[in-house]
Amino acid sequence: MRLQNFTKGLWTELPVLRVLLGFCPTLAVTNRAENGLVMGLATTFVLFFSCTLISIFKKLIPHRIRIPIFIVVIASFVTIVDYLLAAYYWEMHKVLGIYIPLIVVNCLILGRVEAFASKNPVGDSMLDALGMGVGFTLVLVVLGSIRELFGFGTIFSHQVIGKPYEPMVLMIIPPGALLSLGLLLGLMNLIRDRMEGRR
Amino acid sequence: MREIIALSLALAFVCLLSAFSLSFVYQHSKPLIERNREGELREAVEKVLPGAKVEYAPLTSGRVFEALNSSSNLIALYKGEKDGREVYAALISVKGYQGAIRMLIGFDPGASEILGVEILEHAETPGLGSRIEGESFLSQFKGKLKPKYDTITGATISSSAVIRGFVNAMRAVMGGER
């Protein structure tokens, strides 16, 4: 097991911002930091268990039908998350609603399963899935915080900007998602270029 | 041919395992999910019919039911009792800006009085259309049926959808008694 499999998900192969995967949930649910956090954790759950299971049974999975099998496994874990959220976290289940079933088609998950878990040892696959999940969650929380800050004046529902501030509705509707994601991507590229330039 | 059968069997086996584990989780979470859904409804009914004793079995007949069912998209109707009077809570669905708005209206048809309105579920624009949930908008519905209600600036479609749904339903119920 190499720790690098975990840390690469946090920087060099950071989902969304470095490896441009998983845009749909990123754009859809990040109007509040809390929504981003729960979406990120739900995705991490699905990613971790799918990768672990598939890595364990990788030798038994017939190569020609591996994609349908991956999708069945991923969809099962997504449905489990959906039931558990509805049972234990009803309010959040109402907010995320349709976006939970859509984790099935988050290409980040199928991408990790196909490109990593089905070819690497179990321990490495678990680390890889955790790293990617944590990285994805971080991005969603950062983006959610930015949008919530400007759109509601709060972060995690705590008042940050005082009363006279008129919230920018633009930031909580879809155009705000595209704008802030674009600016964040540009910022990341700037940071990367600076770091590489100094080396 | 043989390979097709082998592959199909492998896939069927995986699906079978998946179905088993899902039914296990479903069995476990179903009562909790139903309790959540019912708790949410009860909370809303208590808000629109404060202090009433409500039976939570939905009505399927009666004059009020017929009037609402023919005039609006009625999902469920509950009957309760408050100070010896018959009161009702109607769950209706109206088409909003981005999907269905489910709203609950509490009313007393005998006195032609509306006791309260709550929005249970909607998919309106956050920050704009979502203001239909606000107390300042919903409190105007209390009391006698009025000829005109105020919409919300910046949320005209969402707020007029709620007003239209409300007025249609209440005219049907109370119109005959005026």
Amino acid present at A160: V
Cα gap A152→A148, rounded to integer Å: 5
Cα gap A171→A177, rounded to integer Å: 7
How confident is residue B178, by pLDDT bands cut at 50, 70 and 90? very low
**Percent above pLDDT 70 for chain B:** 97
Strand-pair partners of B119: B103
Residue B28 with chain A: CB contacts under 8 Å:
87
Cα gap A28→B156, rounded to integer Å: 24
Rg (Cα) of chain A, in Å, rounded? 18
Q: Specify whether the CB–CB gap between A96 and A39 falls below 8 A.
A: yes
Within a domain: residue B78? Answer: yes
What pLDDT shows up at residue A128?
A: 95
> What is the per-residue pLDDT across A123-150, written as a single tens digit (0 to 9) for each?
999 999 999 999 999 999 999 999 999 9
Sign, CA torsion A187/A191/A194/A197: negative
Residue A94 with chain B: CB contacts under 8 Å:
121
> What is the per-residue pLDDT across B47-95, written as a single tens digit (0 to 9) for each?
999 888 888 888 888 888 988 988 889 999 999 998 888 999 999 999 9
Spans of all domains in chain A? 4-198
A28-to-A59, A152, B32, B116 alpha-carbon distances in Å: 36, 17, 27, 33
DSSP label of B124? P
Contact B29 A62 (CB under 8 A): no
How confident is residue A87, by pLDDT bands cut at 50, 70 and 90? very high
Does residue B6 sit at the A interface (CB-CB below 8 Å)? Answer: yes
Contact B33 A86 (CB under 8 A): yes
Q: Specify whether the CB–CB gap between A17 and A143 falls below 8 A.
A: no
Q: How many domains does chain B have?
A: 1
Query: From A65, which residue of chain B is nearest by alpha-carbon distance?
Result: B7
Does residue B14 sit at the A interface (CB-CB below 8 Å)? Answer: yes
Q: For residue B116, give the nearest of B137, B141, B91 by alpha carbon.
A: B141
> What is the per-residue pLDDT across A19-74, written as a single tens digit (0 to 9) for each?
888 888 889 889 889 889 999 999 999 999 999 999 999 999 999 999 999 999 99
Q: Dmax over Cα atoms in chain A, in whole Å? A: 62
Q: What residue numbers bound the domain in which B92 lies?
A: 47-177
Within a domain: residue B18? Answer: no
**E strand or H helix at B156:** helix B156-174
Q: For residue A73, give the nearest of B69, B10, B143 by alpha carbon.
A: B10
Question: With a CB-CB cutoff of 8 Å, which residues 56-85 of chain B face chain A?
Answer: none
Within a domain: residue B30? Answer: no
A100-to-A43, A45, A64, A83 alpha-carbon distances in Å: 9, 12, 28, 10
Cα gap B120→B91, rounded to integer Å: 9
What pLDDT shows up at residue B177?
A: 46
Does residue A173 sit at the B interface (CB-CB below 8 Å)? Answer: yes
How confident is residue A101, by pLDDT bands cut at 50, 70 and 90? confident
Beta-carbon count within 10 A of B126 CB:
16
User: Among the listed ranges A54-63, A72-81, A94-103, B41-50, which one has the minimum average pLDDT value?
Assistant: A94-103
Strand-pair partners of B107: B88, B114
Q: Specify whether the CB–CB gap between B172 and B145 falls below 8 A.
A: no
Q: For residue A128, give the nearest of A37, A1, A17 by alpha carbon.
A: A1
Cα gap A9→A48, rounded to integer Å: 13
Cα gap A190→A148, rounded to integer Å: 24
Contact A65 B40 (CB under 8 A): no
Beta-carbon count within 10 A of B35 CB:
12
Q: Is the pLDDT of residue B36 over 50?
A: yes
Amino acid present at B35: R
DSSP label of A114? I
